[in-house]
Chains A and B, each alone.
Chain A
């Protein structure tokens, strides 16, 4: 239903509430539930794959403390890649590779978005572990592998987990771009609302994404708190501000 954006805010929010209240908007392939599930799936997928791709090499390089400047430079470039560009760039590649449109260009773009900050922060976290502590551990007879797994990774865990959390939230917001290349997700409502000048649908879509992003932040934040010992938490907050 096309509704003009009324000057009356209350009326507008009433329209939005009505849209959410309409059961038909929740069901079906184009409904909220399906779009939400698509969006969550791609977020989980992209964040997990990015973590698997980025964290092990970053942790290893950080442990070895090699390649610092290269790492930072490479990751800066990664951060500089606009997601909109990647999504569109992968579209013809994906089509020519027979992978179709929609999902794969979006997924790849999200990988490019999530991996670099995870990589930098994991590297910085591990490499930044107090050198004296590492020395002491070596002195106590720990093997290289033990230092990595029992000292460095636990010490770096606040930073690493924070990076995963921040990346996941960014993925949630950016996955909306997928709707521009024929994918679905919550961006579907945004694109639909924009194309039909239906501010209600547009707002509803944006609201859903914002809520999902906040939920993602909350859930991962709680998980973080469970996993990370309290003494290490303060450190992560100050690093996050500067490095994230």
Chain B
């Protein structure tokens, strides 16, 4: 089999897409939900760990070392390893997905807070802010750009990783990719792979842009963006 014509012919079937619009919609929603849970849970855990790391500086290295270690474990291995323990469930997928968000979120939260000018902190303290009030009302908002940069990266990465969860019975859009893998010789299979891939990318870009929008809304005072 040779030639670009043969590649193009019988590769993509609009008919399949039109017949499966509701499946595609379902899987997209599923994908977003899996991503959303991972980011929210990951953010909460990262925030807690960051507070600890900021309070007790010595813990920063071991904490990021551990998160970094999780990050190095190949996603396929992590999910596969959890299956005998937590089954083919959303929990398995989420444990893996959340683990991969920790490194980038912790790093960016800490860097963001560290990046708040000491002068600002001092004057706020002078105005009577307590340590906790300071953190919530002053430091976090000022760190928001850097934190949001981290959330954006974590979100895009997670959307990509969700596709792998198709191999453990979850999947979102990854479902189409995994099914396509068993049917690659037929347009039904290749179309699904294309649909899964393209929509994952579209979703990631859409989420990324929405987060930029969210960032602009919540930090009107900060126009300086990190170079991402």
By a CB distance below 8 angstroms, the chain B residues around A96 are 1-2, 6-7
Give B202-226 as 1s and 0s: 1 = Cβ < 8 Å from A's Cβ atoms.
0011001000000000000000001
Instruction: Report if B156 contacts A (CB, 8 A).
Output: yes
Q: Measured between C-beta atoms, what is the minimum distance from A3 to chain B in Å?
A: 12
Q: Is the CB of B180 within 8 A of A242?
A: no
**Residues of B1-53 whose CB lies within 8 A of A:** 1-2, 6-7, 11
Instruction: Report if B170 contacts A (CB, 8 A).
Output: no
> What separation, in Å, do the CA atoms of A77 and B190 have in the docked complex?
21
**How would you classify the secondary structure of chain A's contact residues: helix, strand, loop or mixed?**
helix
Given contacts A82-B160, A85-B200, A242-B226, contact A206 B189 (CB under 8 A): no
Q: Is the CB of A89 within 8 A of B193?
A: yes
Interface size class of B (residues with CB under 8 A): 35 or more
Give A79-95 as 1s and 0s: 1 = Cβ < 8 Å from B's Cβ atoms.
11111111011011101
Q: Is the CB of A199 within 8 A of B81?
A: yes
Select the residue from B73, B108, B174 with max chain A CB neighbours within 10 A.
B73
Q: Is the CB of A81 within 8 A of B74?
A: no
**Residues of A52-79 whose CB lies within 8 A of B:** 72, 76-77, 79
Q: Is the CB of B156 within 8 A of A88?
A: no
**How would you classify the secondary structure of chain B's contact residues: helix, strand, loop or mixed?**
helix
Q: Is the CB of B2 within 8 A of A95?
A: no
Q: A173-B71, A190-B80, A243-B228 known; 14 other A-B pairs, CB under 8 Å?
A: A72-B227, A82-B159, A85-B174, A86-B197, A91-B184, A92-B193, A97-B7, A173-B74, A176-B76, A177-B76, A180-B167, A194-B83, A206-B81, A241-B111
Q: Which residues of B contact A (CB under 8 A)?
A: 1-2, 6-7, 11, 69, 71-78, 80-81, 83-85, 107-108, 111, 146, 149-150, 153, 156-157, 159-164, 166-167, 174, 177-178, 180-181, 184-185, 189-190, 193-194, 196-197, 200-201, 204-205, 208, 226-228
Complex A-B: 8 CB contacts under 8 Å: A81-B197, A91-B184, A96-B7, A120-B228, A203-B81, A209-B74, A242-B111, A243-B227
